[in-house]
Structure 1
Amino acid sequence: MDAVVCIYEAEHFMDEPPGRTREARIYTLDQPENILLIKEWRAILDEYAKKDGHSRLLAVETYSPPPSLLDWFGNETHPGSQIPFYYQLTFSDREWNTTVLDFLIHWQADVLPRSSYNWVLDNHDNHRTSSRLFDESVDVWNMIVLLLPGLASVYYGTELGMEDLKLRRDQGQDHFNGGLGRVDRRDGYRGPMLWDDTENAGFTTGKKPWLPVHPNFWRTNVNVQKRDPNSHLNTFKRLAALRKTPIMTHGDFHTHIIRTWVYMFTRSLEDETIAVLVNIGTEWEEICTKHVGCEMPSSMFVHTRSGNSDLNIGDKVFSNSKSSRCIRMRPHSGLVLSTSEAFSVHSSIFLLLLAISSYFIA
């Protein structure tokens, strides 16, 4: 449900303080009646669930800061939304370091039950990751969002690394500028999905879409990327497949700030470990076992690499021997490491066959 913070306004209709910031909207945003209404709607959905045995999910867009976000969950007696979207990652920018990232991850991990974790990287109100950060960093952030425990909310096109549209004034459709005093229109985040390199990028057979397609549609589209094993799309598919495995659905979760720009989190189940290692900075980083600052398996294998990594799937890293290969990570690169060599190699073969089949089908 969209914009639930705006449902009620204060009944006295008094003027708000000067300014158009969220903090100044004391009478038209975040009124307590909004949460009461969500609880009523949740009760209605639960009644349907009792009748047919099918659970209903109530997810709400609030943009509430973390402490206020808790109110939308309700309580055991009067539950509210199961998923009040956690939008903090949509505000990520090029100044973010691992301390900021770790804080925002742990706000959920330390406060909420794991079933309530949710991660939003892009949406229709904010700049796309490729434009807000760097195109090279798309795989890294998809690794983070898809492999953290909890619900991953993926905005269309993020799996391709779609970029913001840059429009002329006469091409815009979002004439209200998204409210809250924004001077930018949100049209740039809402361009047509890029399917192929035909006219209108395969989005419509009509003469003209609501918004124009991005000029890079001829090289950034589904049809092109599904043929490249190292594309954003195939990396995303690989992560999505890993996400469904028992270790990712049930494994223990731990985070580690390795350096200012290098972050790692691990998922462990029985004798298997998955480590997600990302460099969110603009410089090369060299990571050896002694740099990690936590006990790691004697050796691990590359399960998934970002498209810009110089390592290959199946490469062995983190050996405890003196001849161990330290990991040199390019800027904005990421690795998913596994203790299982067979797991990494089998996944690689599957993805290669997928890319080959896509080529011949196309």
Structure 2
Amino acid sequence: MSDTVWWKSGTVYQIYPRSFQDSDGNGVGDLRGIASRLDYLAWLGVDAIWISPFYTSPMADFGYDVSDYCGVDPLFGTLEDFDALVAEAHRRKLRVILDFVPNHTSIEHAWFTESRASRQNPKRDWYIWRDAAPDGGPPNNWLSNFGGAAWTRDEATGQYYYHAFLREQPDLNWRNPEVRAAMHDVLRFWLARGVDGFRVDVIWHLIKDEGFRDNPLNPAFVPDLPEINRFEQVYSCDRPEVFDVVAGMRGVLREFGERVLIGEIYLPIERLVAYYGEDLAGADLPFNFQLLSTPWQADSVAALIEEYEAALPEGGWPNWVLGNHDRPRIVDRVGEAQARVAAMLLLTLRGTPTLYYGDEIGLGNVQIPVDRMQDPWEHNEPGHGRDPERTPMQWEDAPHAGFSTTEPWLPLSADCARRNVDEMRDSSGSILTLHRRLLHLRRNHAALSIGSYSTVSSPEELAQDLLIYERIEGSEIVRVVLNFGEGERRHALPDGPDWKVLLSSRPGRSGAVETGEFPIAANEGLILAPLPAD
């Protein structure tokens, strides 16, 4: 694998900095806290850390409203803390990926302060300003992703500005070449400090329809969905001109060698893969979130994998995600038993996996009392908040689970005394141990990290909840058998050599030798390799 680009063979670990480790006792995680846990991440076996925003911000959306792209918010530390973190990560052979938020700034950013000063200000066109509709209302029917209209009237200048999210997050005008140049310089600022790549926030939003046409009604809308789903977002995002913007970012990264560009894209597969760009000049990894919404059934997951693999452009490298800071925890979606199967799926599919902090200890959504809810989306549209999946990492059976010396900004899980790293790291049967063994198998078996993928399940096996596939690299073959069901199933190995169980999701079975037809327990995953012929 020495000739393979690092982001193809590696695993990315997402850190939500507010919730990973608090180093100064204020109940909020920070950069020094992350640095203090790098040995854990190296022990776990991940290859890169992606850190959600820590830039200077008034925190209307917890850092996704940036007021200085080249600064560190004092809540998280200093630029010197960041430089030390990068140096310590690189010393442990861990790459560092930053969250880049180019679609919108904070309303307190100096650029927006100038832009709203007058209609004649040189930075007026750095944001999206429009006259009112004939009735005096918003310019069109576009909605905010956090509920309500996506337009706010500025009384001083008499125009509306567009914000795809909170009114405190005005959208930049990426059709303006001055905006592109300024944001490219932001990328260069961090790349020069040693950053290994970027995850680009809402990359499919960056260009809007030039004519600002109304979005059409969504015939599939039902009232329990977030309000944004009332219309199909065909004019407010995913416009054809966006690919030129993505290619421009990719060009900046290539100035600094082999850096990775990851794009956040919540789109169907046929649109998602377009973000690889013409001749693969777009995002290296357009984030594939399909597992977040696909029914958790063997046949559905198998069909998804086949569809995605078939849609990839020639040379495009796949990637997979099971959780992040915006979506409910995998344990809550599939249950504790199947969360182990999910880990085996994520870390054995072809492509780059992204692991969300806390998933390796089976952390679920934490119930948040009403008086402790923080997410602005929850306040705008109750029931859609993201606090439950953003709670602090749980390190030990100690006050505040070792995350902080004081009450954390969000509550811990009720079972934090046993669901923590210290309790699980030496337990052979823990989900943490399973993740570590999976990650080390990926590193030690080229078939699992860069090998080809082929489905082996028969239609009958898929109907019985068994997903079976092989990863092959050169002469190495690895077979993965996943039981999505609640009952025991059987699988027949091909004639020939016996197969060794490299890893089971259930303790005690790893190392066993299987031949012919053999049982797979309920909620079990197995990784097998053929033994050499005598």
Query: TM-score with structure 2 length normalisation?
Result: 0.56
* Aligned-CA RMSD value: 2.4
Per the alignment, residue 130 of structure 1 pairs with 331
Per the alignment, residue 208 of structure 1 pairs with 407
- The whole-number CA distance in structure 2 between the counterparts of 1:28 and 1:165 is 33
- For 2:207, the aligned partner's letter is Y
Per the alignment, residue 67 of structure 1 pairs with 270
How far 1:129 sits from its partner (Å)?
1.1
Kept in 2: contact 1:115–1:150 (CA 8 A): no
1:116 pairs with 2:317: yes
- The whole-number CA distance in structure 2 between the counterparts of 1:118 and 1:23 is 29
How far 1:81 sits from its partner (Å)?
0.5
1:88 pairs with 2:88: no
1:2 pairs with 2:201: yes
How far 1:36 sits from its partner (Å)?
2.3
Per the alignment, residue 228 of structure 1 pairs with 427
Kindly provide the CA deviation profile for residues 109-141 of structure 1, in whole angstroms up to 9, marking residues without a partner as x: 223256511010111111111110011112211
How far 1:97 sits from its partner (Å)?
2.2
Kept in 1: contact 2:215–2:231 (CA 8 A): no
Gaps of 5+ in 1: 290-294, 320-325, 342-362
Per the alignment, residue 192 of structure 1 pairs with 392
- For 1:64, the aligned partner's letter is L
Kept in 1: contact 2:377–2:384 (CA 8 A): no
Q: Which one has the largest radius of gyration? A: 2
- For 2:467, the aligned partner's letter is Y
How far 1:87 sits from its partner (Å)?
0.3
SS of the residue 2:404 aligns to: coil
Per the alignment, residue 332 of structure 1 pairs with 523
1:38 pairs with 2:243: no
Deviates more, 1:259-268 or 1:20-29: 20-29
- The whole-number CA distance in structure 1 between the counterparts of 2:475 and 2:246 is 43
Percent identity over the alignment is: 27
How far 1:80 sits from its partner (Å)?
0.9
Per the alignment, residue 354 of structure 1 pairs with none
- The whole-number CA distance in structure 2 between the counterparts of 1:313 and 1:131 is 27
Kept in 2: contact 1:90–1:123 (CA 8 A): no
- For 2:480, the aligned partner's letter is V
Query: TM-score with structure 1 length normalisation?
Result: 0.81
- The whole-number CA distance in structure 2 between the counterparts of 1:114 and 1:98 is 27
- The whole-number CA distance in structure 2 between the counterparts of 1:248 and 1:146 is 8
How far 1:84 sits from its partner (Å)?
0.5
Per the alignment, residue 510 of structure 2 pairs with 313
1:267 pairs with 2:471: yes
Kindly provide the CA deviation profile for residues 161-180 of structure 1, in whole angstroms up to 9, marking residues without a partner as x: 1111111222111122498x
Kindly provide the CA deviation profile for residues 196-216 of structure 1, in whole angstroms up to 9, marking residues without a partner as x: 1112211123x2222111111
SS of the residue 2:433 aligns to: helix
Kept in 2: contact 1:4–1:61 (CA 8 A): yes
- For 1:31, the aligned partner's letter is R
Per the alignment, residue 456 of structure 2 pairs with 256
How far 1:11 sits from its partner (Å)?
4.3
Question: Judging changes above 3 Å, is the alpha-carbon distance between structure 1 residues 327 and 219 closer, same or farther for their aligned structure 2 residues?
Answer: farther
- The whole-number CA distance in structure 1 between the counterparts of 2:491 and 2:429 is 23
SS of the residue 1:216 aligns to: coil
Kindly provide the CA deviation profile for residues 24-64 of structure 1, in whole angstroms up to 9, marking residues without a partner as x: 22332223333321121112222x13xxxx21211010111
Question: Judging changes above 3 Å, is the alpha-carbon distance between structure 1 residues 138 and 71 closer, same or farther for their aligned structure 2 residues?
Answer: same
- The whole-number CA distance in structure 2 between the counterparts of 1:336 and 1:211 is 37
- For 1:275, the aligned partner's letter is R
Gaps of 5+ in 2: 1-199, 218-226
Per the alignment, residue 367 of structure 2 pairs with 166
Kept in 1: contact 2:216–2:231 (CA 8 A): no
- The whole-number CA distance in structure 2 between the counterparts of 1:182 and 1:283 is 38
The structure that is helix-richer by fraction is: 1
Kindly provide the CA deviation profile for residues 285-334 of structure 1, in whole angstroms up to 9, marking residues without a partner as x: 12234xxxxx4543111111113x6x512111124xxxxxx432232211
- The whole-number CA distance in structure 1 between the counterparts of 2:473 and 2:327 is 36
How far 1:234 sits from its partner (Å)?
1.0
Which 4+ stretches in 1 moved above 6 angstroms?
none
